[in-house]
Structure 1
Amino acid sequence: MRLEPLAFFLCCTMFSGLSLAAEKAVYGLNEYIQLSDLEMEVAAKLDTGAKTASLSARDIKRFKRDGETWVRFYLAIDDAHEHPIERPLARISKIKRRAGDYDPEEGKTYTARPVIELNVCMGKTQRTIEVNLTDRSAFQYPLLIGSEALKRLDAMVDPSLKYAAGKPGCLLTTAAE
């Protein structure tokens, strides 16, 4: 009869994990994302193997405004804005280079990328996430959503699904949290 308390504990642990999972929205491998700050919608790849989110950008330049560091860039998306976008720099991210991308003469095993904060909407969930800027024009999706952003969005990813959340349904005036 000593197994009864252990069995009760295991059942409670298992069911509490299920209720936690039930609170999270299930998204597909690819989803439509509303970039609320930029008033545009893009298709994104959800990648639990990547830590950070990445947005396709070109001509990325840092500059000072009122003593703060800002970033000016253009979206590197087919029908993107013709005008530059300016956002405060949140931080610099160090992204590991792939084995084929490593130059032994340069000696760096990472690439430094500027990071900004963006309000995004996926499904009916709107949050502020950190996004690093890099040219993703060689990739199919201009936006990659990594594990840190997926946590902020309370998301679970089912790779057998695509566009499970449908078109974003957040109001542009909704708070970021």
Structure 2
Amino acid sequence: MQSNAQSGVFPSQVWHKGQIVTVNGQVYQGQVKYDLDNNLVQLQTNSINTFGASNVSQFEIFDEQYGGVRTFYTLPFPLNGDYDTPVFFEILTEGDNIVLLCREYVVADSRGMGMWGGMPMNPMWGPQMGGAYKLAFNYYFIKDGKIIRYSQKKRELLEVLGDRSDEVELFMRKNRLSHDKRGDLLRITAYYNQIR
């Protein structure tokens, strides 16, 4: 999955063809733009309407950049603190036993860290402020009705998949899958759902 980081455009910054389903079952279609940081989604038809996660049960977009339909659900989760609040999560893969979710965010790309953290130098003025940005993801699993934040550590993944961790680990080794890559996590989760 390549992001459009070179041009500085991310999926959350553009309008997508899509639909929003409210908690009372109303379906709105049009151009949709989302803001996961603030758990807001906007709908553009003749005017622009903004919905908070507490008013939306789900929304879908057709992401032309990545080519496909992406589905987001509102689920209760203590994102900032101890109390559950309505939060948007993207469903990556779901099965009877486990569901893989994510939340995207934009980070400064610090590859090529030097003294100036990979920012191009302008001989007259020093480092350019701004730098490059890339899309990053926080991952979550739903298992046994609970949302579990996954910090992308192999040991933690095997704990979540505990009842089948030996089989999953063998599958990962055979297929050279990593515990912290999006595509690999999709395959691992699908495999776990298939064997369980």
Same structural fold, with TM-score higher than 0.5 when normalized by the shorter chain: no
When normalised by structure 1's length, the TM-score is 0.31
Q: Whose relative contact order is higher, 1 or 2, with alpha carbons under 8 Å and at least 6 apart? A: 1
When normalised by structure 2's length, the TM-score is 0.29
